[in-house]
Structure 1
Amino acid sequence: MVINRLKWKLSSQFVRNMGWLGGAELVNRVFRLVTTITLARLLNSYDYGLIAIILITHDFAGTFCSAIDAKIIQSPDKDVKVLCDTAYWMNWILFIAIFILQCAAAFPLAWFYKDNNVVLPICFIALSYLLLPIGAVQSSLIRRENRLNIIALTNVVQGITLNIATIVLAFLGFGIWSVILPFGLANPIWLIINLMNHSWRPKKSFTLYKWQEVAGYSINIIVVEFLNKLRANLDYLIVGKFLGFKELGLYYFAFNAGLGISMNVLNVIVSSLFPHLCAARTNLKQLKSTYFSSLKTIALIVVPIVLLQSSLAPFYVPIIFGQKWIPAIPILILICLSAMSRPFAEAAKLLLLTVDRSRIALAWNLIFTLVFAISLLVAVQWGVLAVAATVLITHIVLLPLFTLWTGKYVFGRSTDNMTMSS
């Protein structure tokens, strides 16, 4: 009876969290669709190529943002107070370093792609990191407490503001800067909402007590997330280098128009699932039930969305985005279908993090990234469509194998009555 009650409570919380975040993403998606249509009609493929490289660089730097956050969410109650104080100061060190590294990376990127137009936008976006340490711990605690309605509110307010600003600037003729300038609005909104919704404040005295514990847990997550970002952007980097910015722009449009909705769903699932799994981590039987129940929920949501979007692509792309993007339709369909297996692999990775097996997640990501990179380098010789086909094949074949193995490893190696270490 107690187990069933706990199961219902956790399952209900997961669905509620997905509801909050899913609702936020739905609202944002409506505004983002208008933004995507506006940009598709006002910008050309070269502009899209530039935007792709700028946002990829920012995406890579953002890899480091969630590692300390994950430790606060996962840690036992008795350690939270101390770890929060340490995390606050570690965040300052981390985000200042990220700001410097992103600005420094702009110059070799300009040399690599032989285009100096990427330098100033990359440095401008990097400024946003300097606000994050002020509210990062509060955001982590809100997630730990499963109050994801606050996260949803933040996402909605940020999304609406950024999309409206982008549309206005695009119509005013700001070009690629219509995408870049609104980044200056995002983090102030995030900071205000987090500070208003959590009472935690840092100690005045500097402390790094137990920093090794935070760093030890976080380092594998950072590497795993970096490899995730690398895989997510390898195709862009390779297409941009070997085929040029115009082909990259075509590919980038197809990716965003095709995988945008699916990736939004994926982000909702990931944000909801980790605290959901961590809440059940002390009881392996309950964790098993929670995990496989979550996989069923993911399947019911993701599979129909991906199939529907893929099948409708030939109809909605020319109508909504314009005739000039018709060559992107086959690329869009292939990339969209690759989303089918991604949420399940993400769930498997989060399961490994929940039970302190981040090294295994790291090892898998190293192997998958290496195979993926080699496959793309071979495929690019036959053009951008071959790259998209390679993305589909590698994800559809390899990610389900990882998901199946992870479930057997975690739940097949211990008895149901085992209590997970805290």
Structure 2
Amino acid sequence: MNLAKDITNKLRYKLSDKFIQNFSWLGGAQIVYRFFRLATTVTLAHLLSPVDYGLAALILTTNEFVNVFAQCGIDVKLIQSTEEDINDLCNTAYWLNWLIYSSLFIVQCIVAFIIGWSYKNIQLVLPICLMATGYLTIPIALVQCVLIQRENRMSVIAVTHMLQLCIDCILTIIMALLGMGMWAIILPKILVAPIWVWRCYTNHSWRVNSKFTLKNWQEIVKFGRNILGSQLLTTLRNNIDYFLVGTFLGVEQLGVYYFAFNAGLGISLGIITAFGSALFPYLCSVSNNIERLKERFFKGLKTVALITIPLILLQSSLSPFYVPLIFGQKWVTAGAVPILILICLSAIPRPFGDAASQILRAVNKPDIDLKWNLIFTAILVVGLVVGLQWGLVGVATAVLIVHILTIPIFTIWSSRYVIATHPDTILKTSI
């Protein structure tokens, strides 16, 4: 009876932990979405050609590269800021968001014509421009979304993303069955954008309470420039292999690689993203207490390791069986299975690197995270260029080797650096 009581109390304590709650909501939403995503991937694998996949990859990658300039640290600064500063910063952030996203809309439309000319394919212009229309709705509710995260109400964020992404999947399946080709991937993402705006806007009471103002904008920009640099490099890493494969190996080979990447890394990346979203506000709330910061950081690492590592190993080992069964024999014939396995295994160290970046940002050291991202990106690009000599398998092998060798070093170094330079540690040492 005492043993059962102890187990019950421990379980209750763990479930009451805010990080576990947030991670459970975000992770659960990702699992639900991935079931829908699996059905979508199976449908697309049977109905779309590698060329359709390749064109969609170019469009989405272009949008991803432009969108990275919106990741300028405004959200991170609002989550990290004090209660005394939050109101002024929110008003400034609201107007800054409108300036940034309106500019990105114009930039992406210009880039659309450049991409169409570069690939000598004018049909790429319209979908890239349509993808840009989402920028004109995001500022309406972006501050509310960040404040919801700051308050650790991740259940709202989780349900919002789940609704948006699941409806995206349903529409994609319908459009693929209607024979819409690459538009089946692109158009739903445009149509579901208002769902996010509606959910975030109605789930927080904050409203802009001033006329146009950029008060304290320097504080946001100073902090955010390092975040923007890190995000630029992260987006470059996440997409440079697509561009290299498409340029040197062709659109059809890009379609095979894009399929393998999404089929192999989709579930894992969903969990890793949920982990990072839950961990950052959890660390920020105790960033002035080194003991609690250490406890929460290592608890987060342990939690994500127990979930992701077995899942990744299981998925990669079963891929030779489920790929032909679920997605079709044509992807086996195209050589997607070994690529899928290699990319899948590269996910093992990724959450640890993400956690290391989050703890550096939580203690106001985004400049160090930027330097790491610069080094990591340079190493990856060199690896990819070398890997191209052996085709798609060489590219996937380069991705795996670089992640396995570099991320553990960064994670260990970052945790030791934060502990060694934290004011609490310095004070105790001096005493």
Alignment TM-score, normalising by the size of structure 1? 0.95
2:421 match: 413
Aligned-partner Cα distance in 1 for 2:66–2:152:
26
Output the amino acid matched with 1:165: L
The answer to whether the 8 A contact 2:420-2:426 is kept is no
RMSD across aligned C-alpha pairs, in angstroms? Answer: 1.5
CA-to-aligned-CA distance 1:156-201 (integer Å, 9 cap, x gap): 1101211111111111111111111112222210111111110100
Q: Does 1:250 align with 2:256?
A: yes
Output the amino acid matched with 1:176: M
2:286 match: 280
1:5 match: none
Q: Does 1:391 align with 2:399?
A: yes
Aligned-partner Cα distance in 2 for 1:121–1:168:
18
1:20 match: 25
Aligned-partner Cα distance in 1 for 2:294–2:255:
43
Change in CA separation of 1:47 and 1:254 when aligned onto 2, cut-off 3 Å: same
Deviates more, 1:246-255 or 1:217-226: 217-226
The match for 2:191 among 182, 185, 193 is 185
CA-to-aligned-CA distance 1:78-135 (integer Å, 9 cap, x gap): 1100100000000000101111111111222223333222211111000011000010
1:53 match: 58
Output the amino acid matched with 1:273: L
2:331 match: 325
Could you say what secondary structure the match of 1:339 adopts?
Answer: coil
Percent of matched pairs sharing the same residue: 51
Change in CA separation of 1:9 and 1:265 when aligned onto 2, cut-off 3 Å: closer
Aligned-partner Cα distance in 2 for 1:181–1:252:
18
Where does structure 1 lack aligned partners over 5 or more consecutive residues?
1-7
Output the amino acid matched with 1:36: T
CA-to-aligned-CA distance 1:350-394 (integer Å, 9 cap, x gap): 111111111111111111111111221121122111000000000
1:215 match: 221
Aligned-partner Cα distance in 2 for 1:186–1:357:
36
The answer to whether the 8 A contact 1:277-1:290 is kept is yes
The match for 1:92 among 95, 98, 103 is 98
The match for 2:179 among 173, 177, 180 is 173
The answer to whether the 8 A contact 2:101-2:139 is kept is yes
Could you say what secondary structure the match of 1:110 adopts?
Answer: helix
Q: Does 1:158 align with 2:164?
A: yes
Aligned-partner Cα distance in 2 for 1:267–1:169:
27
2:69 match: 64
The match for 1:225 among 223, 231, 243 is 231
The answer to whether the 8 A contact 1:303-1:340 is kept is yes
1:306 match: 312
Where does structure 2 lack aligned partners over 5 or more consecutive residues?
1-12
Q: Does 1:369 align with 2:363?
A: no
Aligned-partner Cα distance in 1 for 2:84–2:364:
18
1:4 match: none
Aligned-partner Cα distance in 1 for 2:203–2:393:
47
Could you tell me how far 1:204 is from its partner in structure 2?
Answer: 4.3
Could you say what secondary structure the match of 1:182 adopts?
Answer: helix
